């Protein structure tokens, strides 16, 4: 098996979601190697929390290490005009993102 990076050491699961619906968040700009579920096209972009999901296994750790850690994930809504040149002003993109991908805006 090829050597795969262990991206993060284990820490305890936070029982409470850090963000609530309506909160503005910015997606971390740094690209994470490996099996990330954070798409490139929203890195560094600002969106609004719409839905909060229950704890689920953080995919990078699950894919590349034996550590299993759960965290909250969210549906975050972005304006297409904020994501793309000449983006449709009537279009938004709702993206499911883990808490580790987000920082408070």
Partner 1 sequence: MSASHQAPPAAASEPAPVERRALALRDALVDRGLVEAGEAEALAHRAVQELSPANGARVVARAWVDPDFRQRLLANATAAAKELGIEGIEGRQMVALENTATTHNVIVCTQCSCTAWPLLGLPPDWYKAPSYRARVVREARALLAEMGLQLPAATNIPRLGYQRRDAIFRVADATSGDRAFHGRTTRQSCYSRCTDRGCSH
Q: Shortest gap between Cβ of 9 and partner 1 (angstroms)?
A: 19
10: tokens are 């284990």
Q: How far apart are CA 34 and CA 7, in angstroms?
A: 8
Task: Check binding of 96 to partner 1 (CB under 8 A).
Answer: yes
Q: Shortest gap between Cβ of 31 and partner 1 (angstroms)?
A: 14
Q: Please, is 2 exposed, middle or buried when counting C-beta atoms within 10 Å of its C-beta (0-12, 13-18, 19+)? A: exposed
Strand partners, 71: 56
C-alpha to C-alpha distances, 45 to 35, 66, 69, 77, 93, nearest whole angstrom:
20, 31, 26, 10, 12
Task: Check binding of 83 to partner 1 (CB under 8 A).
Answer: yes
Q: Which of 13, 14, 84, 103 is in the footprint of partner 1 by CB under 8 A?
A: 84
For partner 1, how many residues bind (rule: CB under 8 A)?
A: 30
Q: Shortest gap between Cβ of 42 and partner 1 (angstroms)?
A: 7
User: Which residue ranges make up the site for partner 1 (CB under 8 A)?
Assistant: 35, 37, 39, 41-42, 51, 53-54, 56-57, 59, 62-63, 73, 75, 77-78, 80, 83-84, 87-88, 90-97
């Amino acid at each position: 098996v090829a050597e795969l990076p262990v991206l993060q050491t284990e820490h305890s699961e936070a029982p409470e979601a850090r963000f609530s619906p309506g909160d503005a968040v910015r997606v971390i700009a740094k690209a994470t190697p490996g099996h990330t579920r954070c798409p490139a096209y929203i890195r560094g972009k600002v969106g609004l929390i719409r839905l909060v999901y229950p704890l689920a296994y953080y995919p990078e750790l699950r894919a590349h290490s034996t550590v299993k850690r759960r965290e909250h994930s969210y549906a975050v809504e972005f304006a297409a005009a904020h994501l793309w040149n000449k983006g449709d002003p009537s279009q938004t993109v709702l993206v499911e993102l883990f808490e580790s991908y987000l920082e408070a805006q």
